[in-house]
C-alpha cells in the first residue's frame, strides 16, 4: 500500500461514518418533527373537545330542565282534564291557530290506553310559506301528541279559476292512564 492510500483510507472511513451519522440524525429529526406535529394536532383536538364538553353539559342541563318542566305541565294538564277534554282542547287550539277553510274530525277512539281522534284540515289557495308553517306546527305539537299522516295537494278548476287545495290528515293522541 502506498502512503497515499494509507493517508486517504482513514479519511474515507471517517467520511462514511460521518455521512452515516448525519443520515441517522436527519432521519431521527424528520421522525421527531412528524411526531411533534401529530402530537400538536392531537392536543388541539383535545382542547376543542374540552371546550365542547362545556357546551354539551349546558345543553344536557337545559334538556333536563325542559323535560322536568314538560313533565310538570303534562302532569298538571293530565290531572285537571280527562283525555277526551285534552283532545278536544287541542283540536280547538289547532283550529284557532291554523284557521283551515274546511275541517272534519272523527269520533274519539280508544285502543288500550291510547285515546285518539282523527282530523282532516283543508286549506284552499294557501301561500307556500303559510302551508309549510301549518304542517310544521301540526307535526311539532307534543301534548297531546299531534301527528300528520298524509298531506295531499290537488289543483282543480272552479269557475274558470285554478284552485289549489291542500289537505292534511292526522291524529291527536293522548293516554288514558297518566302516572309518575
Residues facing residue 166 across a β-bridge: 123, 153
**Which pLDDT score, from 0 to 100, does residue 113 have?**
83
* Sequence-distant (≥ 6) Cβ neighbours of residue 131 within 8 angstroms: 123, 166
Which cell is 116 given?
285518539
Tell the residue number behind the cell numbers 500500500, with chain if given. 1
User: Which of 6-20, 25-39, 134-148 has the highest average model confidence (pLDDT)?
Assistant: 25-39
Reply yes or no on whether the pLDDT at 117 is more than 60: yes
In this predicted model, what pLDDT tens digit does every residue of 17-59 receive, in sequence order? 999 999 999 999 999 999 999 999 999 998 888 888 888 888 8
**Which pLDDT score, from 0 to 100, does residue 20 have?**
93
- Residue 179 DSSP SS3: coil
CA 153 – CA 3 distance, rounded (Å): 104
Average pLDDT, rounded, for the chain: 84
| Beta strands 161-175; 102-105: pairing state | unpaired
If you average pLDDT over residues 131-152, what whole number do you get? 83
Q: CA angle, corner 165, sides to 161 and 166, nearest 5? A: 155
Question: Which residue, among 96, 71, 90, 49, has the nearest Cα to 174 in the 3D structure?
Answer: 90
Amino acid at each position: 500500500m502506498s502512503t497515499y492510500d494509507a493517508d486517504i483510507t482513514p479519511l474515507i472511513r471517517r467520511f462514511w461514518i460521518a455521512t452515516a451519522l448525519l443520515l441517522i440524525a436527519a432521519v431521527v429529526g424528520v421522525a421527531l418533527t412528524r411526531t411533534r406535529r401529530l402530537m400538536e394536532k392531537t392536543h388541539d383536538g383535545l382542547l376543542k373537545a374540552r371546550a365542547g364538553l362545556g357546551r354539551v353539559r349546558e345543553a344536557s342541563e337545559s334538556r333536563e330542565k325542559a323535560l322536568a318542566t314538560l313533565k310538570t305541565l303534562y302532569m298538571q294538564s293530565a290531572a285537571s282534564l280527562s283525555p277526551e277534554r285534552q283532545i278536544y282542547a287541542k283540536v280547538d287550539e289547532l283550529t284557532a291557530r291554523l284557521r283551515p277553510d274546511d275541517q272534519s274530525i272523527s269520533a274519539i277512539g280508544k285502543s288500550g290506553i291510547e285515546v285518539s281522534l282523527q282530523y282532516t284540515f283543508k286549506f284552499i289557495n294557501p301561500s307556500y310559506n303559510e302551508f309549510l308553517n301549518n304542517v310544521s306546527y301540526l307535526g311539532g305539537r307534543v301534548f297531546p301528541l299531534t301527528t300528520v299522516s298524509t298531506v295531499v295537494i290537488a289543483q282543480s278548476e272552479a269557475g274558470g279559476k285554478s284552485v289549489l287545495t291542500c289537505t292534511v290528515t292526522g291524529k291527536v293522541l293522548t293516554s288514558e292512564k297518566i302516572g309518575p
